[in-house]
């Protein structure tokens, strides 16, 4: 590692580097440490692993705000209250994670924004992250633009980078935490988004590529340009697919459509959003169904299983309420309880089973 590289890495790793009087001491210490490491047999040293050959280690659910994750305020996901302490958030999260784990979940995708990270609420909200990692769950932290009016673009690049510096400083060394620089970057052209994402990776050294998920172009719905860009060779990729993105299709057409948009990178892709109504009595076990949602979910999960891909269903709870129901009819679980005694009940057993099938279970 050259001195040039070391001096680029140190600011993100050692805040003391900002004090110029301490730089010579820090630099000598780091170079000395690297010299010692060079004497250790190569087989003993382990670094950041490359992106996995398959991604079905991610069996996940999105935990969302009831209403919308696109917000100009702090993100308070369903079941939590902004008045909760860190300990209360942890207790609530563990109650919900118990019920998620009962169907095979081992991953949760949580939203962040610049109005959440670094605030008093962030100190409490971190309980949801820490409760997950403490039980061995993987956590995907994804940035939602600060308000839907932003049109699929980052609202404030400086604030965004400050937010991510805070997050990666806290969780860069936690191997259960994964970073998704932006959810659905649809306001950018392909070339613009790839430049934004590549710059993010250069800036945030604590986010190792193998624990970074770069969203596809558009609404994270096409991975081909990202897949073919060598700047992202070591990363995982975030892919979204919903029936409402497109017109009605046959089951076979949906399968082809999904596989095509994965490009040659299914082995590095995680379907971080896919979903369909779970409260309307649809039978996701019916291979002959003419319902477009059934065909869609069956097709997406088949592609996942065929490619040994992971998936993070949208949502476990939270999301946009459908009509006057008070809940998102895509939500996998019905939420109940009060205080820290919270419970989740599966809305549609056939939907649950098909999601599990996609995970490889």
pTM, to two decimals: 0.86
> For the purposes of burial, counting CB atoms within 10 Å of the CB of 74, is it exposed (0-12), middle (13-18) or buried (19 or more)?
middle
Inside any domain, residue 305: yes
Q: What is the DSSP letter of 148?
A: G
pLDDT at residue 147, rounded to an integer = 84
pLDDT averaged over every residue in the chain: 89
Q: Count of domains in the chain?
A: 2
Average pLDDT over residues 229-253: 97
* Pair 25, 99 in one domain: no
In which domain, by residue range, is 174 found? 59-359
Q: How confident is the model at residue 242 (pLDDT cuts 50, 70, 90)?
A: very high
* Pair 227, 271 in one domain: yes
Please say if the pLDDT value at position 31 is more than 50. no
* Pair 93, 130 in one domain: yes
Average pLDDT over residues 314-319: 98
Strand 177-180, strand 138-143: pairing: parallel
* Pair 113, 139 in one domain: yes
Please say if the pLDDT value at position 41 is more than 50. no
Supply 192's token pair: 């613009």
For residue 121, what are the contacts with CB-CB under 8 A and spacing of at least 6?
Answer: 74, 76, 82
Q: Tell me the CA end-to-end span of the chain in Å, nearest whole number.
A: 43
Inside any domain, residue 51: no
Q: Is 66 helix (H, G, I), strand (E, B) or coil?
A: strand
What CATH number does the domain containing 285 carry?
A: 3.20.20.80
Inside any domain, residue 104: yes
* Pair 15, 146 in one domain: no
Q: How confident is the model at residue 43 (pLDDT cuts 50, 70, 90)?
A: very low
Report the phi/psi class of residue 264: left, alpha or beta, with left for phi > 0 and alpha for psi in -120 to 50. alpha
């Amino acid at each position: 590692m050259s001195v040039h590289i070391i001096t680029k890495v140190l600011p993100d790793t050692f805040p003391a580097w900002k004090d110029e009087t301490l730089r010579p001491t820090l630099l000598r210490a780091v170079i000395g440490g690297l010299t010692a490491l060079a004497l250790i047999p190569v087989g003993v040293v382990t670094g950041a692993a490359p992106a996995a050959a398959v991604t079905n280690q991610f069996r996940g659910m999105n935990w969302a705000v009831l209403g919308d994750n696109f917000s100009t305020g702090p993100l308070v996901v369903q079941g939590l209250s902004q008045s909760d302490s860190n300990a209360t958030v942890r207790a609530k999260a563990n109650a919900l994670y118990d019920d998620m784990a009962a169907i095979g979940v081992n991953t949760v995708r949580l939203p962040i924004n610049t109005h959440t990270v670094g605030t008093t609420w962030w100190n409490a909200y971190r309980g949801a992250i820490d409760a997950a990692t403490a039980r061995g769950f993987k956590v995907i932290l994804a940035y939602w633009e600060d308000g839907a009016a932003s049109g699929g673009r980052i609202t404030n690049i400086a604030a965004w980078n400050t937010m991510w510096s805070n997050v990666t400083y806290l969780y860069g060394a936690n191997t259960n935490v994964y970073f998704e620089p932006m959810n659905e970057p649809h306001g950018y052209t392909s070339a613009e988004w790839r430049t934004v994402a590549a710059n993010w990776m250069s800036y945030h050294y604590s986010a190792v590529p193998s624990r970074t998920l770069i969203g596809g172009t558009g609404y994270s719905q096409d991975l081909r340009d990202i897949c073919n860009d060598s700047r992202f060779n070591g990363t995982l990729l975030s892919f979204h697919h919903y029936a409402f993105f497109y017109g009605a299709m046959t089951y076979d057409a949906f399968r082809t459509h999904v596989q095509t948009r994965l490009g040659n990178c299914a082995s590095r892709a995680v379907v971080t959003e896919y979903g369909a109504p779970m409260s309307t009595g649809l039978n996701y076990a019916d291979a002959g169904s003419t319902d477009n949602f059934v065909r869609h979910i069956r097709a997406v999960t088949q592609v996942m299983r065929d490619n040994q891909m992971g998936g993070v269903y949208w949502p476990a709870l939270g999301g946009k309420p459908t009509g006057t129901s008070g809940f998102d009819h895509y939500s996998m679980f019905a939420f109940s309880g009060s205080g820290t005694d919270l419970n989740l009940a599966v809305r549609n057993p056939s939907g649950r089973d098909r999601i599990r099938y996609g995970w490889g279970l």
